Structure 1
Amino acid sequence: MDTPHDPLAGLRPAADHRDPRASALLRPFSPGTPLQDRPVLLGLPYDGGIPSRPGARFGPKALREALGSYGSFDGQRELGEVVDMGDLTLAAMNGAVTHARIEEASRNLFAAGARPIFIGGDHGLTGSLIRGLAAARPGLRLALVTIDAHLDVREYDNEATLSSGTPFRRALETPILTGARTAMIGIRYLANSRYYLSWAREQGVHLYTVDDVAERGAVAVAREALSRIMKDADALYLSVDIDAADAAVAPGVSAVSVGGLSSREMIDVVRTVSAEPRLLGADLMELSPPHDENARTAKLTARLLLEVLSVRPS
């Protein structure tokens, strides 16, 4: 049989080995791939718990595509490879089943010694990610930094009623985390109720508003937060809701609003927190491509992923 002729043979641009793209850092997982102490990427294409604008289920795909906008040299070294586990198969219409699968996947990755970065997706899934970590490492004293406009500590009735507003209520219900080891950066007024602000303060959570960041600087706020929560912690987890960024730089999120962090402030906080040697996992959530203009939000999210990777051991 004749080999089909490619009418575009020789017309496609060849990859330039002198300018490698960050997308080339992703290496598909295959059985037998060692995971111990390695960065691992896992997509969570689910947005069933988002009450506002659906679309975050397409976030993992958009983030991977946006990596091609960046190089792999961070100014000092070439970034190391990332094991890409692909996207988890999730039950789009069954929140309880989805959260159970997320918790199991998280438990398995942390038990294998991986340092996962989860990309979503519904931020409500973070509660199940931390529950999976608690199941894998029950004696852990975990510290948590969230970058988010919202507290996300809403009450819920059962697993079927979980939403993007419940993850940190669920995280604080685990035995590995306390309010004193939790810091929330980027909190906006007129986006959170008096009731939940009071509840978070009662738990001892360290709250930093967008005004704190504007007045004191992103790096200074992040360093203070770490100094407070890492005193007796064994490990650190970072959770980023892209809606912490202002609508001007991140229109493609589930809960878009004005008055948020600038892209530079987002980068500075993520870089500062990720430089903590005890960081063992992170997530980047709520990128919503159907609402993204010129992939601006996807590119910001991809940049934040690269910031996490740039300060980790090669």
Structure 2
Amino acid sequence: MDTPHDPLAGLRPASDPRDPRASSLLLPFTPGASLRDRTVVLGLPYDGGIPSRPGARFGPKALREALSSYGSFDGQRELADIVDMGDLALSSMNASKAHARIEEASRNLFSTGARPFFIGGDHGITGSLLRGLAAARPGLRLALVTLDAHLDVREYDDAASLSSGTPFRRALETSILTGSRTAMIGIRRFANSRYYLSWVREQGVHVYSVEDVAERGAAAIARDALTHVMRDADALYLSVDIDAADAAVAPGVSAVGVGGLSSREMIDVIRTVSADPRLIGADLMELSPPHDENQRTAKLAARLLLEVLSARG
């Protein structure tokens, strides 16, 4: 019997061990291994809260694949391995069950002492992630920095009505977060209502528009935000909605918009915020591969993840 022959043997591109890809940093979770102080990645493939342009449930897979576009060397050192927990099994047909499962997973991860990076998924997920953190560490004084075109503080009736516009309303309802410890960077004109902007200002939230970033510089805005939110905080969480980026650099999002941040500005904010040693968790949401031309948005999302890892050291 003939030995099976690979007709493409020798024709595929060979990996270069002297130039490892960032995708090699993802190591599968070993049951029983300690996660304390480890950076872990968890995919949350749920987009049931997006009113239009569904597709963010494919975001975790696209981001992981885009990591192969980058090396693992940040210019000064090789990045450390991270634990990939895979994707959470989520029902796209039942919002209440999906969010309950997400909240439980968040509570469990934060209880282990891990430093999670969550990949979505629609941004409504972040509300459940922060409620899970509150359940795991009820005495925490959390600071929150968001990078987003939208305020995302819409009113809601119950778990079944949660959407990509509700996460920070839900987060501010927890005992661990206040408006004075919350900063929103990248808020875009014509993307929010007067009513909700007034509401966040009443809560004491620090709001930075795209114009503020253009005038003062992204890193300076991020430093200013940290100065305000960390005054009486003992921990920091970063939430990134990739739609904060301009449509020219991030077409593959759930709510595409013109006049957003540049990729350089996104990187500078992420790098500055992630360098704070009190950062205990982060998420990146709304990457929508079906609308992503040439994987531009996925590559930006992957770069932002690498910036978080690099800044953490």
TM class by shorter-chain length? over 0.9
Secondary structure at 2:43 match in 1: strand
Q: Deviations over 1:154-206 (max 9, x none)?
A: 00000000000000000000000000000000001211000000000000000
Partner of 1:11: 11
Q: TM-score, normalised by structure 2?
A: 0.98
Q: Deviations over 1:249-283 (max 9, x none)?
A: 00000000100000000000000000000000000
Partner of 2:95: 95
Q: CA deviation at 1:15?
A: 1.4
The 5-angstrom pairing of residues 36-185 of structure 1 reads: 36-185=36-185
Q: TM-score, normalised by structure 1?
A: 0.98
Partner of 2:259: 259
Secondary structure at 2:18 match in 1: coil
Q: CA deviation at 1:2?
A: 7.0
Q: Any unmatched runs of 5+ in structure 2?
A: none
CA RMSD of aligned residues (A): 0.9
Q: CA deviation at 1:30?
A: 1.9
Secondary structure at 2:144 match in 1: strand
Write the letter of the residue equivalent to 1:272.
T
Q: Any unmatched runs of 5+ in structure 1?
A: none
Q: CA deviation at 1:13?
A: 2.6
How far apart, CA to CA, are the structure 2 residues paired with 1:277 and 1:150?
27
Q: Deviations over 1:57-91 (max 9, x none)?
A: 00000000100000000011000001000100001
How far apart, CA to CA, are the structure 2 residues paired with 1:108 and 1:193?
36
Percent of matched pairs sharing the same residue: 83
Partner of 2:243: 243
How far apart, CA to CA, are the structure 1 residues paired with 2:149 and 2:13?
42
Write the letter of the residue equivalent to 1:244.
A
Write the letter of the residue equivalent to 2:49.
G
Partner of 1:211: 211
The 5-angstrom pairing of residues 250-289 of structure 1 reads: 250-289=250-289
Write the letter of the residue equivalent to 1:294.
N
Partner of 2:301: 301
Q: CA deviation at 1:3?
A: 5.5
Partner of 1:220: 220
Secondary structure at 1:18 match in 2: coil
How far apart, CA to CA, are the structure 2 residues paired with 1:14 and 1:303?
23
Write the letter of the residue equivalent to 1:20.
P
Q: Paired residues, what number?
A: 313
How far apart, CA to CA, are the structure 2 residues paired with 1:28 and 1:20?
17
Secondary structure at 2:128 match in 1: helix
How far apart, CA to CA, are the structure 1 residues paired with 2:293 and 2:12?
27
How far apart, CA to CA, are the structure 2 residues paired with 1:43 and 1:279?
19
CA distance 1:36–1:51, shift in 2 (3 Å) = same
Write the letter of the residue equivalent to 1:248.
A
Partner of 2:195: 195
Q: Deviations over 1:98-138 (max 9, x none)?
A: 00000000000000000000001110000000000000000
How far apart, CA to CA, are the structure 1 residues paired with 2:201 and 2:5?
67
Write the letter of the residue equivalent to 1:234.
D
Write the letter of the residue equivalent to 2:181.
R
How far apart, CA to CA, are the structure 2 residues paired with 1:12 and 1:32?
37
